[in-house]
Chains A and B, each alone.
Chain A
Amino acid sequence: MRWRGTTVAAVVGAAVLSLAAGCGLGSGSKTELVVYNAQHEDLVATMLKGFAKDTGIDVTLRNGSDFELANQIVQEGSASPADVFLTENSPAMTLVSDKGLFAPLDEDTMAHVPAAYVSSKKDWIGFAGRSTVLAYNTQSVPKAQLPASIMDLADPRWKGQVGIAPSGADFQAIVSAVVAVEGQSKAQEWLKGLESNAKIYRNNVAILSAVNAGEIRTGIIYHYYWYQDQAESGANSKNVQLEFFGHQDPGAFLSTSGAGVLKSSKHAEDAQKLVNYLTGKQGQQALVDSKALEYPLGNGVAANPKLKPLSELDPPKVDIGSLNGPQVVSMMQQAGLL
């Protein structure tokens, strides 16, 4: 009876203390930013490590995919807990921007990257780039037979030879670039041709692996998957080489990973600081030094020497703010890819 009372008191006391400790330390002294992140988690975590150290601002990442997060932000509207939105490709940024949910960016943030990588509404900015490439199996496709343009892949000659991942935001971004460069009707034709030619995979990793195994001869992916695999063990890429289309072909599309500050953010200043950091020298260098092997977009920051230099890519000029996700989905449905 006596000891029971003491034990109860001790337990209650400990609970109260720990609760106080948890609450007291957490609130007040440190700001916490919530970032809805659709980019690869480890890349963003690496890039922001320095930010947390320098500013003392805690960053919580909520990870998902481009459209999953974009649609959630739209749903949440002004009640969204998100302070910053990071995407892998730009159509998702356009979706949110079109609803007027982004806040204008700081001037000096926008000076970090070439103007082409800032949205026309000046409400979001690119912080990493990835080039569309055609991965091909070196043993079954001689270089001479490679297509000159990505549009050629709709040709019946390539029946059963192309791997794509239509359900992913990556491929949908590439399609949006095709629409922007070639126009809607040509893009629709291209999609129709692809539908009969292509083998469907769940994502770029699966495509790379399949090309490597000889299951398919070619696949449309982003460059860094190959480079990452090469850097690791090469298990999924030793029979694969990349073809960069260049010549401002839609197949050379450089997709931009975007960053934007939500208008509804309660920590607007700190959020702007985060985007500033991401696009500034430190963040961009962290990107280059990481294992991600994507392209930095910051002025004066050179990409990882392993990669084909950005200046050699010659991507088509597209207004990154105009790439329309929902239109692409509707076109792909029409073509029977979705």
Chain B
Amino acid sequence: MVAVTAAPADAAAPVGRRRGPRPPALLVLAGLAVAALTLLPLAFVAYEAVQTGWAEASRLIFRQRTADLLWNTVRLTAGAVALSLALGVAAAWLVERSDLPGRRLWTVLLVAPLAVPSFVNAFGWISIAPGLDGYAGAVTITTLSYFPLVFLPAAAALRGLDPGLEESAYSLGLGRWAGFVRVVLPQLRPALLGGALLVSLHLLSEFGALALLRYPTFTTAIYDQFQSSFNSSAATMLAGVLVLLCLALLLADLGLRGRSRYARIGGGAPRPVARAPLGPARWPVLAGLAALVVLALGVPIGSIVRWLLAGSSTGVDTHRLLQAAGTSLSLGAVAALVTVVLAIPAAWLAVRHRGRVSALLEGSTYISSALPGIVVALALVTISIRAATPLYQTAPLLIAGYAILFIPRAVVTARAALAQAPPVLDSVARSLGEGTIGTLRRVTLPLIAPGLGAGAALVFLAVVTELTATLLLSPLGTRTLATEFWNQSSSLAYGAAAPYAALLVALSAPATYLLTRQARRGTA
């Protein structure tokens, strides 16, 4: 069949995409201001490093303590990531590719540990088994807290794989195990890399759990330095090393991911997957999964319940509890509002005016998403002391800290929200007689509101359960659920700490529920 196409080309994809109109100057300025804010901690650490000078910096960094901390941090990360990968992939495969009974329930149970903040998990364990400190305890407990971060993307990736690839492998003679290793696993690489990165970054920022477990890492050391001698270069130098570790992780992720492009073959497998029968292996597998869930979920929740009932040390001070809850909720609400508003310029530029400014913004939010809370808090405290004293120890500074920490999440949801309101709708509205304000009011805002709301909810929940930055930045006398929990559990007043822990878990549950709904949608 002769089908030579000459002049009339396919017009569906216009050749030579033109640039749209230039972004309004105000938007660019706003975007640059947000980028500057998110890069502030990084700039601070770099500036301090330069100011301290090589001699002093090397004295502070190159000593045994730092080496110990580095060793602790690296081996914890390596161990926990390896374990999380193993558990996460195994669980994902069982749920998505085998005939495991009760798959939907297992999906919920395997995601639920995310509802228990890691420091509450550590509390749950250490309050019933105080001997569980040191490396073994730290690896175990952090893995139990974070393996869902691998399970979720691995399960989603498995769902999206075309089973045709595996079937071709089997038809070519590969056994099930070989097929899994040589065909499935490589396709899971982007998801696994993403999950491993998330777990590593969480571990590098982890403070509460590791302090409770008496496992010293950079974050606990920075906190101790800060408590003792405040505004010291020692804390900042340690923070510098920590930041370098985080950036190294980001680079490694980019490097490992960049080379391979694994396009999703269609949005979801077109035909249902033939699940592998477990046979008699079903019972040990179920027992294993049950054990995992008991350890990850049952122990912390059971421990909280147990201490709630016992309430041995001092009865529950309800006034204080309510006050702390009120503070947490109001901080969460304000921070959510501020963060979403700050995220809008970045998202707007990224979706509507792709260019150098939007690339810069994306890059800066990507980098700042890797910075630990303690580094951000330390930077803000020091900057406010040196350059903006009126802000020191005030609520706005704390809100700024939250904003810097959680803008990346808000930007992601804001971008998705803005994609719901493509510019062509604006054009149509204008042709129908609406001005800029009218278009925003009648078309853009109604369409992006749900997405923005989801982003605000995410930030709200993150703020309510945030511990590390709050400890450093909150004004004297400010009590949040997390800080009150921290005070009580530090003095081993477990009964008094339990109500706070319970509230923290209760407040994290909605977001986790949303995650499980998303995850369950795929499980047949």
Measured CB to CB, the residues of A under 8 A from B are 36, 62-65, 67-69, 71-72, 75, 166-169, 172, 200-203, 205-206, 209-210, 213, 215, 233, 236, 325-326, 329, 332-334, 336-338
**Of the residues A69, A200, A233, A338, contact of B228 by C-beta under 8 Å:** A338
**Contact assessment for B476 and A62 in the assembled complex, using a CB-CB cutoff below 8 Å:** yes
B389 at the interface (CB under 8 A from A): yes
Q: What is the distance, in angstroms, from A90's C-beta to the closest C-beta of chain B?
A: 15
CA separation between A67 and B224, bound complex, in Å? Answer: 11
17 A-B residue pairs with Cβ-Cβ distance under 8 Å, sorted by A, are: A75-B389, A75-B392, A167-B224, A172-B228, A200-B214, A202-B211, A203-B490, A205-B490, A210-B130, A325-B229, A333-B234, A336-B64, A336-B65, A336-B68, A338-B65, A338-B225, A338-B234
Per-residue contact bits, chain B 352-395, to A (CB 8 Å; 1 contact, 0 not): 00000000000000000000000000000000010001001100
A67 CA / B223 CA spacing, docked (Å): 13
Query: In the bound complex, what is the Cα–Cα distance between A37 and B273 (angstroms)?
Result: 65
* B216 at interface, CB cutoff 8 A: yes
**Docked pose: A71 CA to B384 CA in angstroms:** 14
Please judge, given known A-B contacts A215-B131, A336-B65, whether A166 and B230 are in contact too, CB under 8 Å.
no
Check if B231 is an interface residue, CB within 8 A of chain A. yes
B63 close to A336 (CB less than 8 A): yes
Q: Is B492 an interface residue (CB 8 A)?
A: yes
**In the bound complex, CA of A62 to CA of B479 (Å):** 12
Taking a contact as CB atoms under 8 Å apart, the answer to whether B64 and A67 are in contact is no
A332 surroundings in chain B (CB, below 8 A): 228
The one of A67, A72, A209 in contact with B492, judged by C-beta atoms closer than 8 angstroms, is A209
Chain A residue with minimal CB distance to B491?
Answer: A205
Residues of B within 8 Å of A, CB-based: how many? 31
Return the chain B residue nearest A203 by Cβ.
B490
Are the CB atoms of A68 and B230 closer together than 8 Å? yes
Identity of the chain A residue whose Cβ is nearest the Cβ of B229 in the assembled complex: A329
Instruction: Identify which of residues 122-173 in chain B touch chain A, using a CB-to-CB cut-off of 8 Å.
Output: 130-131
Q: A206–B131 Cα gap in the complex (Å)?
A: 12
Q: Which residues of B lie under 8 Å from residue A167 when comparing CB positions? A: 223-224, 227-228
Tell me whether B116 is interfacial, beta carbon within 8 Å: no
CA of A326 to CA of B234 in the docked complex: distance in angstroms? 12
Which A residues lie within 8 Å of B223 (CB)? 167
Apart from A62-B477, A205-B492: 15 A-B pairs, beta carbons within 8 A: A65-B227, A68-B227, A75-B389, A75-B392, A167-B228, A169-B228, A202-B214, A203-B491, A205-B491, A213-B130, A329-B228, A329-B229, A333-B65, A334-B63, A338-B65
Query: Quick check: A202 and B490 within 8 Å, CB to CB?
Result: yes
C-alpha spacing A169/B131, complex, angstroms: 26
Q: Please determine whether B130 and A215 come into contact, CB atoms closer than 8 angstroms.
A: yes
Interface residues of B in 215-265 (CB under 8 A from A): 216, 221, 223-225, 227-232, 234
Q: How far is the CA of A75 from the CA of B225 in the complex (A)?
A: 18
> In the complex, how many angstroms separate the beta carbon of A82 from the nearest chain B beta carbon?
10
Cβ of A71 and Cβ of B231 under 8 Å apart? Answer: yes
Closest to B225 in A: A338
A200 to B216, CA, bound (A): 9
Are A72 and B224 interface neighbours, CB within 8 A? no
> In residues 21-66 of chain B, which contact A (Cβ within 8 Å)?
60, 63-65
Q: A166-B224, A215-B130 are known contacts. Are A326 and B492 too (CB-CB below 8 A)?
A: no
- Which residue in chain A gives the minimum CB-CB distance to B472? A68
* Contact with A206, one of B227, B228, B232, B492 (Cβ below 8 angstroms): B492
Contact status A63-B477, CB under 8 Å: yes
Q: Residue B229 contacts which of A65, A67, A215 (CB distance < 8 angstroms)?
A: A67
CB contact under 8 A between A67 and B228, given known A200-B214, A336-B64: yes
- Determine whether the beta carbon of A64 is less than 8 Å from that of B491: no
Contacts of A200 in B (CB 8 A): 214, 216
Most chain A CB within 10 A, of B214, B223, B227, B389, is at B227
Rounded to whole angstroms, the CA-CA distance of A167 and B231 in the bound complex is 15
Chain B residue contacts of A329, Cβ below 8 A: 228-229, 232
B393/A72 in contact, CB under 8 A: yes
By a CB distance below 8 angstroms, the chain A residues around B63 are: 334, 336
Among residues 166 to 223 in chain B, which have CB atoms less than 8 Å away from a CB atom of chain A?
211, 214, 216, 221, 223
Q: Which chain B residues lie closer than 8 Å to A64 at the CB level?
A: 476
CA distance A213 to B224 in the complex (A): 25
Bound form: Cα–Cα A84–B482 in Å: 29
| Chain A residue with Cβ nearest B230 | A71
- Interfacial chain A residues near B227, Cβ < 8 Å: 65, 67-68, 167-168
Q: How far is the CA of A168 from the CA of B491 in the complex (A)?
A: 13
Docked pose: A299 CA to B389 CA in angstroms: 42
Cα distance A167–B230 in the bound complex, in angstroms = 12
In angstroms, how far is the closest chain B Cβ from the Cβ of A299? 33
How far is B300's CA from A256's CA once the two chains are assembled, in angstroms? 40
How far does the alpha carbon of A210 sit from the alpha carbon of B476 in the complex, in Å?
Answer: 30
With A63-B476, A63-B477, A200-B214: A326-B490 Cβ-Cβ less than 8 Å:
no
Measured CA separation A65–B63 after assembly (Å): 28
Q: How far is the CB of B121 from chain A (nearest CB, A)?
A: 18
Of A62, A169, A201, the residue contacting B214 (CB under 8 A) is: A201
Residues of A within 8 A of B476 (CB): 36, 62-64, 69, 72
List the B side residues contacting A213 at CB < 8 Å.
130-131
Tell me the minimal C-beta distance from B397 to chain A in angstroms: 13
> How many angstroms between the C-alpha atoms of A25 and B216 in the bound complex?
51
A336 and B225 alpha carbons, distance in the complex (Å):
12
A172: which B residues are within 8 A, CB to CB?
A: 228
Residue on B with the closest CB to A72?
Answer: B393
B224 contacts A326, C-beta separation under 8 Å = no
Q: Which residue of A lies closest to B234 (CB)?
A: A333
Across-interface contacts of A67 in B (CB, < 8 A): 227-230
For the complex, give the distance between the alpha carbons of A325 and B232 in Å.
13
Which residue on B lies nearest to A62, using beta carbons?
Answer: B476
Contacts of A169 in B (CB 8 A): 228
Residues in A with CB closer than 8 Å to B492 are 205-206, 209, 236
B138, chain A: closest CB distance, angstroms: 14
Q: Do A338 and B131 contact each other (CB < 8 Å), given the known contacts A71-B231, A236-B492, A333-B234? A: no
- CB <8 Å contact, A75 and B228: no
Q: Which of A71, A209, A332, A338 has the most CB of B within 10 A?
A: A338
Measured in the bound complex, the distance between the Cα atoms of B132 and A213 in whole Å is: 13
Q: Which residues of chain A are within 8 angstroms of B131 by Cβ–Cβ distance?
A: 213, 215
Q: Give the distance in Å from the alpha carbon of A245 to the alpha carbon of B22 in the complex.
A: 77
Q: Enumerate chain A residues within 8 angstroms of B491, measured Cβ to Cβ.
A: 203, 205
Q: Considering the chains assembled together, what is the distance between the CA atoms of A333 and B65 in angstroms?
A: 8
